Chain A
Amino acid sequence: MNRKKKSIKEIWVPVAAILIFILIWQLICVFELVPGFMLPSPLDVGKAFVTDFPLLMHHAGITLLEAFFGLTIGVMLGFCCAALMDTFPVVKSALYPILVLTQTIPPVAIAPLLILWFSYGIWPKVILVVLVAFFPMAVGLLEGFQSVDSDLIRLMKSMKATKWQIFWKVKVPSALGNFFSGLKIAVSYSVVGAVIAEWLGGFIGLGVYMTRVKKSLSYDKMFAVILLVSAISLLLMAVVKVIQYKAMPWEHARKE
């Protein structure tokens, strides 16, 4: 009974809210409370999505590729950086303020510079994704490494464990929860980061598609691509959640 109530609360309430929102949006358009060229109706957006589906997928493939490369490099760099900051306090003192400072600079401000330095190809987009994905990973992992129970470290030392063994057997598994929390943020940032980079220069990608449909005042297509970007982000976050579930079986074994 409780489970049923929970599923109503957790699934059906938000679904109903979204459906009501779409219905209100459709009614606003039907009764022309807002001019159609400014706010296309959900039905128009759906039609635009279906019509342009092959083109959208073509652009999405490139955006996903940029996001994938950027995310992979960002995650690896974030891991190495967090491990170094955890192992050497002097590295943390030197790097941490710089890391925080970089987060005050909006990606939109960096993208033109990257295009200037690395031209219009895939790399300026990948680098921007690296920059946006790196921070949540580095900070999340560092917190994970440093929140390990100090008694656990004492125990490992009393068993003559090396620093390497302590890192891999205790710190890395303990930080997995933080790793996946950071990764969920990083995957959504990576798609958005790639789209932003494409806005400011390039030949292909969802950001390029977005600027083109904006110039042709095709706002139905604009909304379609926005929905697609959201859907991709949500899907990637769900994939991370599934990987986390598989990678941390002890977390749900607890609830058995």
Chain B
Amino acid sequence: MEKEILRAEHITKSYGEKQVLNDINFSLKEGELVCLLGVSGVGKTTLFNVLSGLTAPDKGKVLLASENGFTDITEKNGMLSYMLQKDLLLPHMHVVDNVALPLTLKGVPKKKARETASEYFRRFGLDGTQNKYPAQLSGGMRQRAALLRTYLCGNKVALLDEPFSALDTITKASLQEWFLEVMEDLGMSTIFITHDIDEAILLSDRIYMMTGSPATLTGEFRIEQPKPRNQSFTMTDEFLQYKKDIRRLLFVDQIAFS
């Protein structure tokens, strides 16, 4: 878990007159789950757009570990797997074809892509849904399918933009536990966005606080609790202490910038 796999260096981004991101620097290590925590509208999604290559930064670069050190992947699409806030499953495709989409887009024959995708259905709790349409799945199942699609993009790093924010509390809690298990199992290096402090503490190895306007990374927390974790962690004193510390930092910054 020590080797760095991704680095964001001095990322700055403005839209017209409005500067959204200011000198963002952070790194991600192999197999690590890092959270970007900040209030809605702070610029978290803009940062993900820059990291994924969808938006060009005004300044700074995104570096991905490769055989020869680090490769500059700024403005290059398809280098990181990106799961957006909504599941964005295509309504006209069967679940298996939705999940296999990253493979078919790369030119893998449909049959082979379906076979590859189907191998993961049991692990992702999607068994028996292959030939259903997304509209026939529950919200939780749809997110699982979207996560499997993200995994099948086959990149070293996944970016997850508030993956559980649209779910009800109970579904969210069970999906978070499942997510921790699956991430541990797959060893995916992941950066995820949330504005939910509890979720950030429960899921992350490290948390970066994103505050201000333009947004900067103002704090870093390491969550020392061993993995796999479950919801009972959220009832412990340690959890509450993390929460207090994060809230203090978030609200102090919020007041300072408002």
Which residues of chain B are near A170, meaning CB under 8 Å? 90
**A165-B105 in contact given A151-B84, A253-B135 (Cβ < 8 Å):** yes
Which residues of chain B are near A173, meaning CB under 8 Å? 90-93
Chain B proximity mask over A221-256: 1 for CB below 8 Å, otherwise 0: 000000000000000000000000000111001101
Check if A155 sits within 8 Å of B88, measured CB to CB.
yes
Within the complex, which residue of B77, B132, B133, B134 is in contact with A158, where a contact is CB–CB below 8 Å?
B77
**A155-B84 in contact given A250-B135, A253-B135, A253-B136 (Cβ < 8 Å):** yes
Q: Report the number of A-B residue pairs with Cβ-Cβ less than 8 Å.
A: 64
Which residues of chain A are near B93, meaning CB under 8 Å? 173
Chain A proximity mask over B46-90: 1 for CB below 8 Å, otherwise 0: 000100111000000000000000000000011011101110101
Number of interface residues of A (CB under 8 A): 23
Which residues of chain B are near A47, meaning CB under 8 Å? none
Within the complex, which residue of A158, A161, A256 is in contact with B82, where a contact is CB–CB below 8 Å?
A158
**Interface: B250 (CB within 8 A):** no
**Interface: B34 (CB within 8 A):** no
A180 CB to nearest chain B CB (Å): 13
Check if A158 sits within 8 Å of B52, measured CB to CB.
yes
Which residues of chain A are near B77, meaning CB under 8 Å? 157-160
Which residues of chain A are near B78, meaning CB under 8 Å? 158-160
What separation, in Å, do the CA atoms of A151 and B92 have in the docked complex? 17
Which residues of chain B are near A253, meaning CB under 8 Å? 132-133, 135-136
Within the complex, which residue of A154, A174, A249 is in contact with B84, where a contact is CB–CB below 8 Å?
A154
What separation, in Å, do the CA atoms of A176 and B93 have in the docked complex? 13
Number of interface residues of B (CB under 8 A): 27
Shortest Cβ distance from B80 into A: residue: A158
Shortest Cβ distance from A154 into B: residue: B54
**Interface: A9 (CB within 8 A):** no
Which residues of chain A are near B102, meaning CB under 8 Å? 159
Which residues of chain B are near A159, meaning CB under 8 Å? 77-78, 82, 101-102, 105, 153
Which residues of chain A are near B105, meaning CB under 8 Å? 156, 159-161, 165, 169
**Interface: A13 (CB within 8 A):** no
Which residues of chain B are near A165, meaning CB under 8 Å? 105
A148 CB to nearest chain B CB (Å): 10
Shortest Cβ distance from A249 into B: residue: B133
Shortest Cβ distance from A160 into B: residue: B78
Chain A proximity mask over B99-140: 1 for CB below 8 Å, otherwise 0: 001100110000000000000000000000000111110000
Check if B91 sits within 8 Å of A151, measured CB to CB.
no
B156 CB to nearest chain A CB (Å): 15
Which residues of chain A are near B106, meaning CB under 8 Å? 160
What separation, in Å, do the CA atoms of A113 and B151 have in the docked complex? 61
Interface centre among A152, A165, A176, A250, by most B CB within 10 Å?
Answer: A250
Within the complex, which residue of A152, A156, A254 is in contact with B136, where a contact is CB–CB below 8 Å?
A254
**Interface: A149 (CB within 8 A):** yes
What separation, in Å, do the CA atoms of A154 and B88 have in the docked complex? 10
Interface centre among A151, A154, A158, by most B CB within 10 Å?
Answer: A158
Check if A250 sits within 8 Å of B82, measured CB to CB.
no
What separation, in Å, do the CA atoms of A250 and B92 have in the docked complex? 6
Check if A256 sits within 8 Å of B90, measured CB to CB.
no
A87 CB to nearest chain B CB (Å): 19
Which residues of chain B are near A176, meaning CB under 8 Å? 92
Check if B92 sits within 8 Å of A248, measured CB to CB.
yes
B53 CB to nearest chain A CB (Å): 7
What separation, in Å, do the CA atoms of A165 and B90 have in the docked complex? 13
A23 CB to nearest chain B CB (Å): 45
What separation, in Å, do the CA atoms of A253 and B135 have in the docked complex? 8
Interface centre among A151, A154, A159, A161, by most B CB within 10 Å?
Answer: A159
Which residues of chain A are near B90, meaning CB under 8 Å? 152, 169-170, 173
Which residues of chain B are near A169, meaning CB under 8 Å? 90, 101, 105
Which residues of chain A are near B82, meaning CB under 8 Å? 154-155, 158-159
A-B pairs with beta carbons under 8 Å apart, 7 shown: A149-B88, A151-B88, A156-B105, A158-B80, A250-B91, A254-B133, A254-B135
Q: Could you tell me which A residues sit within 8 Å of B by CB distance?
A: 149, 151-152, 154-161, 165, 169-170, 173-174, 176, 248-250, 253-254, 256
15 further contact pairs, Cβ within 8 A, besides A154-B54, A159-B82, A256-B136 = A149-B88, A151-B86, A151-B88, A154-B84, A158-B78, A158-B81, A159-B102, A160-B77, A160-B78, A160-B106, A165-B105, A170-B90, A173-B90, A173-B93, A176-B92
State the 9 A-B residue pairs at the shortest beta-carbon distance, nearest first.
A160-B78, A254-B135, A158-B82, A173-B92, A250-B133, A253-B133, A158-B52, A155-B88, A159-B102
